[in-house]
Structure formats: structure tokens, C-alpha cells
């Protein structure tokens, strides 16, 4: 009997690498080619978009995220040309209407008035990487000569704020941050930063060991989250933490996750500056591993998205990823909030996609869920008493 067809998509996130180069050299970065000044040829956007628009996996809206290097290390003119090419590819598309948004995840150090004009002109949503106050940010986010980047990032944020351009912040949590929940919260409030996501420092790619693996850090992370929950409760509406919002939304709805975007094939398409593409989580695109080799499935110049489903490489990735999700489903009480995690975490921590619990899921899913659900329960009990 032929194997059952693989369910792919709906494709909703297209991650494109304008350059692997980064003007910073953060010590926890997983990217391997941060010195490579290669750049995506804007003409390559046409085959990228053609492959996406012709794909049966495409959903009805698509975010193109410029990422995987410092996207502002390429000239402003690149995004003007790219945006014009995207508009004309969409205009030529004769299938169902697709809503396309552009977004960028930047270290913020290069943002100035001209970049704000570019974001506005081309409708690009902005995310800035900022680890809180200078003493935490500059401990890790440094230039190649060892200088801190906090002042430059805050200057960039100042430009966004002066121009009233909305943005969110991604903060990487390292072991240094764990005793500073109050300081971090107050820093964000003082600088009018209202949308924050915490990314955990992970063991992956070039970052061989995370500081969060040190003994005792998980208990400190739980105490940090507990304090952050109290602070957000005391200042309603002042700061939205992505991790709390996600668990609250799932806990208040009746949906349970069956998979995540990270472990369902072709919900995310990742394309590097040479046109090589991969799927599942974006962290898989640029890395090479002993067990699987690289995770490049094809190139947009020569391969359609559907054509790679038959390759041995995709079949093996999918088989192992699906086995890991099923193992999670049958063994983990948090599965409905998590959907089985990201393959890259499983690979880097367990050596295979076919695994279950990782440090990443203990920090990002289990600790957050425990703090939020206990907090909601307490608040409901207080509400019932009054």
C-alpha cells in the first residue's frame, strides 16, 4: 500500500535571508556565516515568489520575514527594489488573492530616519532584538571588537518611536538575566516598550552550550517568570509578553495544538541568499549536522516546493519529526499547549528529531504554562471570593 499523503501547509511564513552577514557578533548567536557578505540578488525574489504562489501549500495570507543575518546590512535600495518586485509578482498572479506583509527582525543598530522612511514606504513591520538594560544587553550583544551595542540599538528604537512606527522587541534570556525581572520590566516601561517576546538562549548551531544549562537555572527562571507575571498584573496593559499571551489564549479557548508551525511541513518556507530552501523551523536552514547533513531541500531556481516531498532527505526529516511529535503526544501533559516543539531544539539537544523533552521546552513551554495557569487560577479564586 502506498504511504498516506503528507499534509503540508498552509504556508504562511516565508523567511528570506537578504544576507548572512551581521555587523554584530553576539556570543550566543547560532548562525554560522556571520562574516559572509554575500547578498540576495533581488531578481531571485521572482522565482521565490513564483514557487510560493504556484504551490498548493499556500494559505490566504503570507508574511515575508527578512531574517537570518542582519537585514539592515544591505542597502535601503534593496528593499525598495524587492518591494517593487513583490508587488509586480502579486499583480501577475492569477490564482486566489494572497495578502502579503513584510516584516524584518533587526538588531536595530543601523535604524535612522532613512530606514524609517523605507519601512513606512514599503509597509515593513519591525522587530528589534534588545535584551533589556545595557548591563544585560552588552554582556552578549557586542561588535567584533568587543564594544557593546546597546546605545546604538536604543538610538534605533528612538527613531522608530519619534516616527510613531510600531515595533516589538525580542529579548534573549541568558543566565545573567534571571535575577533581574524587576529591572528588565522597569526598563521596558521606562522606555515605552510595550510588546516583548522572550527567546531563550538555546544550544544550537554555532552556540554549543547555553548558559541556561547551568545547575539551578531552571528554578531561577521560574521565579523570574513568576515575578514578571506579578508585575504585568500590577500594570495592566503596560506590557504584553508574548509567552504569557500565547498560554492565556490557549487556556481561554477550547483549541488544543496538534502540531506547531515549526514541525508541520511547509507552514514555514526558509530561503537563503543563494535561493536554497528548507522548511520547518528557520534555524535549520543555515546549519550542517553530523546526523542529517544540511537541511537544504532544493533551490528555487530548479525545484518546486512539491517536488522535494519525494526526496529521501525530506522523507527522513518528516518521518523523524512526525515520530517526535507522536512521542510528545503520548508522553507529555503539555502537548495541547505545545504541539510537540521544534525539531532544531530536539536535534541540538537530543541528536535527533525523534525525541521529546528538551531544555528549550522546559523553559519556553512548561515553566511558562505552570506560572500562567497557576496565576490565572489564583486570580479566578480571588474573583470568586469578592
Q: Which residues contact 4 (CB under 8 A, 6 or more apart)?
A: none
Task: Tell me if 250 contacts ligand SF4 by CB under 6 A.
Answer: no
Per-residue contact flags (x/-) with ligand SF4 for residues 289 to 328, judged by CB under 6 A: ---------------------------------------x
> How would you label 186-216 residue by residue, b for 16+ Cβ within 10 Å and e otherwise?
ebbeebebebbbbbbbbbbbebeebbbeeee
Task: Tell me if 341 contacts ligand SF4 by CB under 6 A.
Answer: yes
Measure the CA–CA gap between 245 and 150, rounded to whole angstroms.
Answer: 27
Task: Tell me if 356 contacts ligand SF4 by CB under 6 A.
Answer: yes
Cα→Cα distances 139→147, 174, 208, 292, 316, Å: 10, 10, 18, 33, 39
Rounded to the nearest 10 degrees, the angle between the axes of helix 242-252 and helix 368-385 is 60
The answer to whether residues 106 and 72 touch, using CB atoms and an 8 Å cutoff, is yes
Binding test (CB under 6 A) with ligand SF4, winner from 65, 130, 286, 365: 365
Per-residue contact flags (x/-) with ligand SF4 for residues 29 to 48, judged by CB under 6 A: --------------------
Measure the CA–CA gap between 4 and 198, rounded to whole angstroms.
Answer: 38
Task: Tell me if 100 contacts ligand SF4 by CB under 6 A.
Answer: no
Q: Name the one range near ligand SF4 by CB under 6 A: 6-14, 19-27, 296-304, 361-369.
A: 361-369
Binding test (CB under 6 A) with ligand SF4, winner from 62, 169, 296, 338: 338
Q: Which residues contact 328 (CB under 8 A, 6 or more apart)?
A: 335, 338, 340, 341, 356
Q: Name the one range near ligand SF4 by CB under 6 A: 196-204, 277-285, 290-298, 329-337.
A: 329-337
Measure the CA–CA gap between 198 and 209, rounded to whole angstroms.
Answer: 18
Q: Name the one range near ligand SF4 by CB under 6 A: 162-170, 222-230, 336-344, 372-380.
A: 336-344
Task: Tell me if 343 contacts ligand SF4 by CB under 6 A.
Answer: no
| C-alpha cell at position 116 | 524609517
DSSP state of 362: I
Closest CB to ligand SF4 among 127 and 341? 341
Closest CB to ligand SF4 among 136 and 262? 262
Measure the CA–CA gap between 173 and 34, rounded to whole angstroms.
Answer: 21
| C-alpha cell at position 280 | 520547518
Task: Tell me if 372 contacts ligand SF4 by CB under 6 A.
Answer: no
Q: How far is the CB of 280 from ligand SF4 (least distance, A)?
A: 14
Neighbours of 312 (CB within 10 A): 7
Task: Tell me if 335 contacts ligand SF4 by CB under 6 A.
Answer: yes
Task: Tell me if 110 contacts ligand SF4 by CB under 6 A.
Answer: no
Q: Count the site residues for ligand SF4 by CB under 6 A.
A: 12
Task: Tell me if 263 contacts ligand SF4 by CB under 6 A.
Answer: no
β 99-106/58-66 pair status: parallel
Q: How far is the CB of 341 from ligand SF4 (least distance, A)?
A: 3
Q: Omega before 10 cis (within 30°)?
A: yes
Q: Name the one range near ligand SF4 by CB under 6 A: 47-55, 220-228, 334-342, 371-379.
A: 334-342
The answer to whether residues 217 and 211 touch, using CB atoms and an 8 Å cutoff, is yes
Residue number, nearest CB to ligand SF4: 341
Closest CB to ligand SF4 among 285 and 368? 368
Q: How far is CA 226 from the centre of its chain?
A: 24
Task: Tell me if 357 contacts ligand SF4 by CB under 6 A.
Answer: yes
Q: Which residues contact 71 (CB under 8 A, 6 or more apart)?
A: 18, 19, 104, 105, 106
Closest CB to ligand SF4 among 70 and 320? 320
| Residues in contact with ligand SF4 by the rule CB under 6 A | 328, 332, 334-335, 338, 340-341, 356-357, 361, 365-366
Amino acid at each position: 500500500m502506498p504511504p498516506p499523503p503528507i499534509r503540508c501547509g498552509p504556508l504562511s511564513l516565508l523567511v528570506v535571508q537578504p544576507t548572512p552577514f551581521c555587523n554584530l557578533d553576539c556570543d550566543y548567536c547560532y548562525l554560522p556565516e556571520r562574516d559572509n557578505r554575500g547578498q540576495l540578488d533581488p531578481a531571485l525574489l521572482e522565482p521565490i515568489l513564483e514557487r510560493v504562489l504556484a504551490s498548493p501549500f499556500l494559505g490566504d495570507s503570507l508574511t515575508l520575514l527578512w531574517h537570518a543575518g542582519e537585514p539592515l546590512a544591505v542597502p535601503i535600495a534593496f528593499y525598495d527594489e524587492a518591494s517593487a518586485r513583490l508587488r509586480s509578482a502579486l499583480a501577475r498572479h492569477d490564482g486566489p488573492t494572497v495578502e502579503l506583509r513584510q516584516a524584518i527582525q533587526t538588531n536595530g543598530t543601523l535604524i535612522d530616519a532613512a530606514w524609517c522612511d523605507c519601512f513606512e514606504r514599503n509597509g515593513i513591520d519591525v522587530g528589534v532584538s534588545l535584551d533589556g538594560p545595557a548591563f544585560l544587553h552588552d554582556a552578549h550583544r557586542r561588535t567584533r571588537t568587543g564594544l557593546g551595542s546597546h546605545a546604538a540599538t536604543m538610538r534605533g528604537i528612538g527613531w522608530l518611536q519619534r516616527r510613531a512606527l510600531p515595533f516589538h522587541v525580542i529579548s534573549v534570556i541568558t543566565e545573567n538575566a534571571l535575577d533581574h525581572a524587576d529591572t528588565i520590566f522597569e526598563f521596558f516601561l521606562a522606555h515605552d516598550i510595550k510588546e516583548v517576546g522572550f527567546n531563550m538562549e538555546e544550544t544550537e548551531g554555532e552556540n554549543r552550550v547555553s548558559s541556561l544549562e547551568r545547575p539551578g537555572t531552571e528554578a531561577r527562571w521560574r521565579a523570574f517568570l513568576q515575578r514578571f507575571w506579578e508585575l504585568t498584573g500590577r500594570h495592566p496593559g503596560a506590557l504584553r509578553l508574548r509567552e504569557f499571551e500565547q498560554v492565556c489564549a490557549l487556556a481561554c479557548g477550547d483549541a488544543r495544538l496538534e502540531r506547531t508551525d515549526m514541525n508541520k511541513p511547509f507552514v514555514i518556507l526558509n530561503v537563503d541568499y543563494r535561493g536554497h530552501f528548507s522548511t520547518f523551523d528557520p534555524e535549520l536552514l543555515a546549519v550542517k549536522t553530523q546526523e542529517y547533513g544540511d537541511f537544504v531541500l532544493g533551490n528555487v531556481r530548479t525545484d518546486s516546493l512539491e517536488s522535494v516531498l519525494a526526496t529521501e532527505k525530506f522523507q527522513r526529516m518528516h518521518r523523524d519529526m512526525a515520530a517526535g511529535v507522536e512521542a510528545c503526544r503520548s508522553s507529555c501533559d503539555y502537548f495541547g499547549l505545545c504541539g510537540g516543539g521544534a525539531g532544531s531544539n530536539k536535534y541540538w539537544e537530543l541528536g535527533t528529531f525523534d525525541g521529546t523533552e528538551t531544555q528549550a521546552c522546559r523553559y519556553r513551554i512548561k515553566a511558562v504554562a505552570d506560572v500562567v495557569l497557576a496565576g490565572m487560577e489564583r486570580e479566578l479564586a480571588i474573583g470568586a471570593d469578592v
